[in-house]
Structure 1
Amino acid sequence: MLPRIAVIGAGLIGLSTAVCISETIPRCSVTIISDEFTPNTTSDVAAGMLIPHTYPGELNFCLACSCKVQTFDYLFAINNSSEALSNCQEVFHISIPQTGINRNDYDIVVNCTGIGSRELIGDLKIYPVRGQVLKVHAPWLNHFIRDPDGLSYIYPGIHNVTLGETREKDSWNLSPDPNISKDIFDKCCALEPSLQKAQDIKVRVGLRPARLAVRLQKEILVQGEKKLPVVHNYGHGSGGFSMHWGTAKEAARLVGECIATLQDPLPKAKL
């Protein structure tokens, strides 16, 4: 029987992990489960720039560096391919549970819930860093501008231009602040005066899933006689875009290890 894998979370980390699993473990069933999908995820709020980020609590420095390099190489290859201007779509079975996840429906669960891991699994090491940005229509802009402080920036995207931003630690407030919006717009207009004629200005707020270190590991959850392998991949903070493909590949590797254990649960005798 094909291994049944549930990926919890439909942001950049969850979707990337689901893609990696489907590519590296073709004989499996992948289900993406989330309470929100695009355009309502934290990833949709983010500007999505490839900027190196450090995690002071990283236990495996080599793994962290490898994830960043793999992500860069992956994006660089796309940028230099025919896919750069085309829309690629991966097809998965997608469901939204109304009453939670039935452990009996899946052989392995992959936790990519970001800030939701605080409530889902009780991880008190993860905390929000609130970010408020503006999404504006300014198609004449085709270059990015970033203030030296890193808080004021103008990042053109395919559909809009992102103006930012705020970094409010431990703030759970998802309501837009009009004073912050005005401050962001004024600072960005000072960097690029042509933004004064920008149209269709939308305010977006998201909570970065900050943690001292990205949690990228296996765990066995036990309930009665039922054991459920879980692979965690969350806590990227503001560095999700810079590490997403590398951590997704590592999570897929861990899923492969879990599948091997399920198929051959008995330890090998040492000669």
Structure 2
Amino acid sequence: MKSVRVAVVGAGVVGFSTAVCIAEALPFCSVTLLAEKFSPDTTSDGAAGILFAAKFPDIPLEKQRRWFKDSFDHLLAIAQSQHSPEAGVMLSSGWQIFKEVPADKRPFWSESVIGFRFMTESELKRFPDHKFGQAFTTIKCECVNYLPWLETRFRKAGGQVEQRKVHSLQELSSSYDIIVNCSGLGSKTLVGDDTVYPVRGQVLKVEAPWLQHFIRDGDGKTYIYPGIHSVTVGGTRQEEDWRLHVDEGDTKSILARCSSLEPSLSKARVLSEWVGLRPGRRNPRVEKELVQLQGRSVPMVHNYGHGGWGVTLAWGTALDALGLVRQCLHEMPLQAKL
């Protein structure tokens, strides 16, 4: 009989990563993942899913470095295993280029990726508007494959999945001993966090099998990421923008910007257009608290607000969330565990 009932809310890459970590590490817990939407309908499904990161202002750099490295090492092991094709995880080499030399030429994650170096002058000749570049090999994780693969792994570990919208935490209070909130932008209403805001992203999938290397402009708005089935080109970062329909003006702008970096894209066929709302926040929230639900104190672990870095940081923050769940178990009165 599994004694401690854990609910994980949210089925994006952060939710499923967290649920898998808990179910595999704590077999005496009965873990249920609840969400309104599952793959292919989550924000994670449209993500380019390539691993590098920006700095968050208020989180110790050492912790951000660990989140990145834990995620990278986890995905690298999958990329180098027989699971790579069905998990949608692959190595990806390319360039990040800058119009001005950045203050931080060697970002905090540079030691975790493979073969990080500065681009040579002859390499930069190809991008005349750019003065500086970094070349490295990282990982691309395609959530359309990865999320169903994680779900299979979660179920194998004894996890249960329930499709339903959680309108309020009160609904969960009598059925679960610990609640883990990975609801992304949904945290705005679910836990009343007004510091979470949408960052609208629009991307296109194009057919360009001749492209083998990623190119990302350092401003983060223009990028070309070859994947297993197609090439993802983007994008937009429109803060506080809730629109979920495709904007033709954005499509034209994306194609023009990407074609200026990679002229052969003008020959690529557009396969699909996608819009998603990233859960923007000044810093991701990875912490625990006690909430009062229907007269009882229920421990709650939060893991949300990753912005555009959900795939990049999901496994690292999931391991931290697992540590917080362990703390909650430790602090529980004995009768709750029996």
Q: Secondary structure at the match of 2:274?
A: strand
Q: In the TM superposition, what whole-angstrom CA distance separates every residue of 1:9-38 from its partner, at most 9, and x where no partner exists?
A: 111100100111112112221111111111
| Equivalent of residue 257 in structure 2, options 187, 191, 208 | 187
Q: Which residue in 1 is equivalent to 2:240?
A: 170
- What is the 5 A alignment of 1:219-238? 219-238=289-308
Q: Which residue in 1 is equivalent to 2:38?
A: 37
Q: Secondary structure at the match of 1:82?
A: coil
| Equivalent of residue 163 in structure 2, options 69, 72, 96 | 96
Offset at residue 82 of structure 1 (A): 2.7
Distance 1:76 1:236 in 2: 21
Distance 2:63 2:54 in 1: 14
Offset at residue 121 of structure 1 (A): 0.8
Offset at residue 142 of structure 1 (A): 2.4
Residue 109 of structure 1 contacts residue 228 of structure 1 at CA under 8 Å; is this kept in 2?
yes
- Specify whether residues 4 and 237 from structure 1 end up closer, same or farther in structure 2 by C-alpha distance, changes over 3 A only: same
Q: Which residue in 1 is equivalent to 2:12?
A: 11
Residue 18 of structure 1 contacts residue 32 of structure 1 at CA under 8 Å; is this kept in 2?
yes
| Matched residue type, 1:51 | F
Distance 1:40 1:200 in 2: 20
Residue 13 of structure 2 contacts residue 311 of structure 2 at CA under 8 Å; is this kept in 1?
yes
Residue 134 of structure 1 contacts residue 202 of structure 1 at CA under 8 Å; is this kept in 2?
yes
Offset at residue 177 of structure 1 (A): 0.5
Q: Secondary structure at the match of 2:332?
A: helix
Q: Which residue in 1 is equivalent to 2:324?
A: 254
Distance 1:71 1:200 in 2: 31
1:197 and 2:267 are equivalent in the alignment: yes
| Matched residue type, 2:65 | C
Q: Which residue in 2 is equivalent to 1:269?
A: none
| Matched residue type, 2:29 | C
Residue 34 of structure 2 contacts residue 165 of structure 2 at CA under 8 Å; is this kept in 1?
no
| Matched residue type, 1:36 | K
- What is the 5 A alignment of 1:56-205? 56-58=57-59, 60-87=60-87, 88=149, 89-90=152-153, 91=155, 92-97=159-164, 100=167, 101-205=171-275
Offset at residue 191 of structure 1 (A): 2.5
Offset at residue 148 of structure 1 (A): 4.3
Offset at residue 197 of structure 1 (A): 3.4
Count residues with an aligned counterpart: 265
Residue 51 of structure 2 contacts residue 311 of structure 2 at CA under 8 Å; is this kept in 1?
yes
Residue 146 of structure 1 contacts residue 153 of structure 1 at CA under 8 Å; is this kept in 2?
yes
Offset at residue 265 of structure 1 (A): 7.2
In angstroms, what is the RMSD of aligned CA positions? 2.0
Offset at residue 74 of structure 1 (A): 1.7
Q: Secondary structure at the match of 1:183?
A: helix
Q: Which moved more, 1:66-75 or 1:77-86?
A: 77-86
Offset at residue 200 of structure 1 (A): 4.8
Identity of aligned residues (%): 45
Residue 34 of structure 2 contacts residue 166 of structure 2 at CA under 8 Å; is this kept in 1?
no
Offset at residue 205 of structure 1 (A): 0.9
Residue 153 of structure 1 contacts residue 165 of structure 1 at CA under 8 Å; is this kept in 2?
yes
Distance 1:86 1:177 in 2: 32
Q: Which residue in 1 is equivalent to 2:92?
A: none
Distance 2:250 2:35 in 1: 30
Q: Secondary structure at the match of 1:150?
A: coil
- Give the number of the structure whose residues are more often strand, by fraction: 2
1:24 and 2:25 are equivalent in the alignment: yes
- Specify whether residues 223 and 78 from structure 1 end up closer, same or farther in structure 2 by C-alpha distance, changes over 3 A only: closer
Distance 2:239 2:34 in 1: 28
Q: In the TM superposition, what whole-angstrom CA distance separates every residue of 1:246-269 from its partner, at most 9, and x where no partner exists?
A: 100010111122122235379xxx
Residue 53 of structure 1 contacts residue 242 of structure 1 at CA under 8 Å; is this kept in 2?
no
- Structure 2, unmatched stretches of 5+, are 88-148
Q: In the TM superposition, what whole-angstrom CA distance separates every residue of 1:77-135 from its partner, at most 9, and x where no partner exists?
A: 22333332344431232112356433211111100011110111110111111111112
Offset at residue 138 of structure 1 (A): 2.6
| Matched residue type, 2:282 | L
Distance 2:73 2:21 in 1: 15
Distance 2:329 2:267 in 1: 55
Residue 71 of structure 1 contacts residue 244 of structure 1 at CA under 8 Å; is this kept in 2?
yes
